[in-house]
A = this chain, B = another copy of it.
Amino acid sequence: MTLKPAKVDVRVGAARVFPALNWMTAYKRDDLVGDMMAGLIVAIMLVPQSMAYAMLAGLPPEIGLYSSMAPLIIYALFGSSRTLAVGPVAMVSLLTLSGIAVVAEQGTARFVALALTLALMTGVIQLLMGLFRLGFLVNYLSHPVLVGFTSAAAIVIGLSQLKHVLGVSIPKSEATYSVAANLWQALPKANPWTMLIGFGAIAILFYFKWLVEKNLSKLRMSAGLANAISKSGPLVVVFAGTIAVWLWGLNGTSAVKVVGSIPAGLPGFTIPELSMADIGALFPVALIISLVGFTESISIATTLASRRRQKIDANQELIALGAANVGAAVTGGYPVTGGLSRSAVNFSSGANTGLASVITAVLIGITLLFFTPLFYYLPQAVLGSMVIVAVVGLFDFKSFLTIWKYDKTDGIALLATFFGVLLFNIEAGIGIGIGTALLFFLHRTSKPHVAVVGRVGDTEHYRNVRRHEVSTCEETFAVRIDESLYFANAKTLENSLLGAVADNPKIRNIVLICSAVNFIDASALEILERVIEDLGSAGVRLCLAEVKGPVSDRLDRIGFLRHFGEENIFMSTHQAMKALGCER
């Protein structure tokens, strides 16, 4: 970077904290149309969705709406993505429910208060992770673990919403099989009107999701309009369901449960309750929400940003999501993160900057101020059906098949997570999954691929003798190890080299090709020193070839290279083989 006057440096510094300054200072009139359209469309989606997810989290519908204001504005200021749509999402709502249900009774004021506490804890954890640049921690949630968790969560969420669609009450229980059993037992008591509305809504939503676009394009409608109409399924079922209940008074004698009265007005400033006992009890789930929420969010943000050659900074994203969650906590909301479907709609509706999210937040505020009475007759079955349809796509059997075919160990980690979540609970499932994945990874790197290589024709390339037609030497073995040398695999190297010497009495030299060795830890160094000594006493000379810069710097620091002998170190395998008289 070239030197610039201090004034500009300040702006660069401020833009690092508030990436929004980048688009604010360069805002163009052309950006506005796209931002306004996207803001409006997302708001229309978000109103019923946020209420539905609040219900999934065991919270009153207004909490969902409250979570869809301040966090959006805060994210627009701090976030490095310009098109990510933040707010309540299914997975985090499920985690909120499962975390708080252990501590408080659903439907109580304490349950709602703890949702704020959880948002604050999630926010603080994400802020700290961002400030201390611990974004890499999220990487330990491997793809198989996430697929297993998401698929299991889809089942858990779907089952949890079935009671709304059936119109029954079931006793609280954690394990999925007992939820299923309870639903089965409650089936005879199901409310026929609720079921009509619920399953009707599911049918309509699936029609809009899968078929409407195709049918409309047959009618020669423009693709853009057809796509917009296909997104309006939720609007249709909300409208139709509300009208039906209101017209026929189904919430009365027919006992169809409705959303009921939502307090009008904007949320006040709220201070979450904090007791050590609650913090301790909620910590595991706050950590999982922080990681899972961030993972979901960052992958959406990265994909959308790359389409326009924009950059996402993982640690800045953590700070932005953390601030958004703290914002949710102090304005009566529960944990939020970037949502997939809304972000995609935001992007494809033409959002250019964070202003789109600000517009969405303002529209939600207007809804809260003036339109809450409109949702009085909205049936809970409609909200439940919206959640069910949204999570169907999360059950990812195709990924499981691909992963299983690609790598059995990854497949096992996936299954372990999946059944862990279903049989025990979410925390246990994720823990089991991460543990399984780590063990398999260690096991994999502990058995490195060691190949004896030979020269390809007259080139300077050396390849595995088992895979290629190569020429080799009797007295000099060239061995390539395809892994960094560290405690879990250094003994394998020792066994390979000493074994080769014991099996081939003619060996006088071994060239160890280190092109795939990215580091040598202290354990491997100790074994390497022992191997050199052991080989020496057996009359075999060990040479190293293609040692990488960082590795040789480190070895140099403790005087290993001097002790080992510079004459035993070669830039390339070919140079080593030539020096050892194996090649002309």
Tell me if A403 and B522 are in contact (CB < 8 A): yes
Tell me if B482 and A548 are in contact (CB < 8 A): yes
Tell me if B518 and A487 are in contact (CB < 8 A): no
Tell me if B437 and A502 are in contact (CB < 8 A): no
Tell me if B139 and A491 are in contact (CB < 8 A): yes
A405 contact from B483, B494, B557, Cβ within 8 A: B557
Tell me if A142 and B487 are in contact (CB < 8 A): yes
Q: Is A445 an interface residue (CB 8 A)?
A: yes
Tell me if A303 and B523 are in contact (CB < 8 A): no
Cβ–Cβ < 8 Å partners of A489 in chain B: 139
Q: Is A443 an interface residue (CB 8 A)?
A: yes
Cβ–Cβ < 8 Å partners of A537 in chain B: 306-307
Tell me if A410 and B502 are in contact (CB < 8 A): no
- The answer to whether A521 and B139 touch (CB under 8 A), given A441-B486, A486-B441, is no
A410 contact from B303, B312, B522, Cβ within 8 A: B522
Closest 8 CB pairs of A and B: A142-B487, A143-B523, A306-B534, A410-B522, A482-B518, A311-B502, A142-B523, A403-B522
Q: Is A136 an interface residue (CB 8 A)?
A: yes
Cβ–Cβ < 8 Å partners of A444 in chain B: 519
Q: Please give 10 more A-B residue pairs, beta carbons under 8 A apart, in addition to A136-B492, A145-B487.
A: A139-B490, A142-B488, A142-B523, A311-B498, A312-B498, A402-B522, A406-B525, A441-B486, A441-B488, A449-B550
Closest chain B CB from A203 CB (angstroms): 33
Interface residues in A521-537 (C-beta closer than 8 Å to B): 521-527, 530, 534-535, 537
Tell me if B487 and A437 are in contact (CB < 8 A): yes
Tell me if B144 and A522 are in contact (CB < 8 A): yes
Cβ–Cβ < 8 Å partners of A299 in chain B: 530
How many copies of the chain does the oligomer comprise? Answer: 2
Interface residues in A229-270 (C-beta closer than 8 Å to B): none
Closest chain B CB from A471 CB (angstroms): 19
- The answer to whether A538 and B447 touch (CB under 8 A), given A486-B441, A516-B515, is no
A487 contact from B140, B399, B448, B554, Cβ within 8 A: B140
- Bound CA span A213–B34, Å: 90
Tell me if A442 and B549 are in contact (CB < 8 A): no
Interface residues in A210-242 (C-beta closer than 8 Å to B): none
- Bound CA span A483–B444, Å: 14
Interface residues in A405-442 (C-beta closer than 8 Å to B): 405-407, 410-411, 437-438, 441-442
Cβ–Cβ < 8 Å partners of A550 in chain B: 449
State the interface size on chain A (CB cutoff 8 A): 86
Tell me if A143 and B522 are in contact (CB < 8 A): yes
Cβ–Cβ < 8 Å partners of A29 in chain B: none
A521 contact from B136, B410, B482, Cβ within 8 A: B410
Q: Is A107 an interface residue (CB 8 A)?
A: no
Cβ–Cβ < 8 Å partners of A445 in chain B: 484
A522 contact from B407, B498, B558, Cβ within 8 A: B407
Tell me if A302 and B534 are in contact (CB < 8 A): yes
Tell me if B519 and A516 are in contact (CB < 8 A): no
Q: Is A505 an interface residue (CB 8 A)?
A: yes
Tell me if A311 and B499 are in contact (CB < 8 A): yes
Cβ–Cβ < 8 Å partners of A525 in chain B: 143, 406
A302 contact from B303, B403, B460, B494, Cβ within 8 A: B494
- The answer to whether A438 and B449 touch (CB under 8 A), given A140-B487, A406-B525, is no
Closest chain B CB from A196 CB (angstroms): 41
Tell me if B534 and A449 are in contact (CB < 8 A): no
Closest residue to A491 on the B side, CB-wise? B139
Q: Is A122 an interface residue (CB 8 A)?
A: no
Closest chain B CB from A149 CB (angstroms): 13
- Bound CA span A264–B432, Å: 55
Tell me if B307 and A534 are in contact (CB < 8 A): yes
Chain A 310-331, CB-CB to B under 8 Å as 1, else 0, gives 1110100000000000000000
Closest chain B CB from A152 CB (angstroms): 17
Cβ–Cβ < 8 Å partners of A548 in chain B: 449, 482
13 residue pairs of the A-B complex, CB under 8 angstroms, read: A136-B491, A136-B492, A139-B489, A140-B488, A143-B527, A308-B538, A311-B498, A312-B495, A314-B491, A402-B522, A407-B554, A441-B487, A516-B518
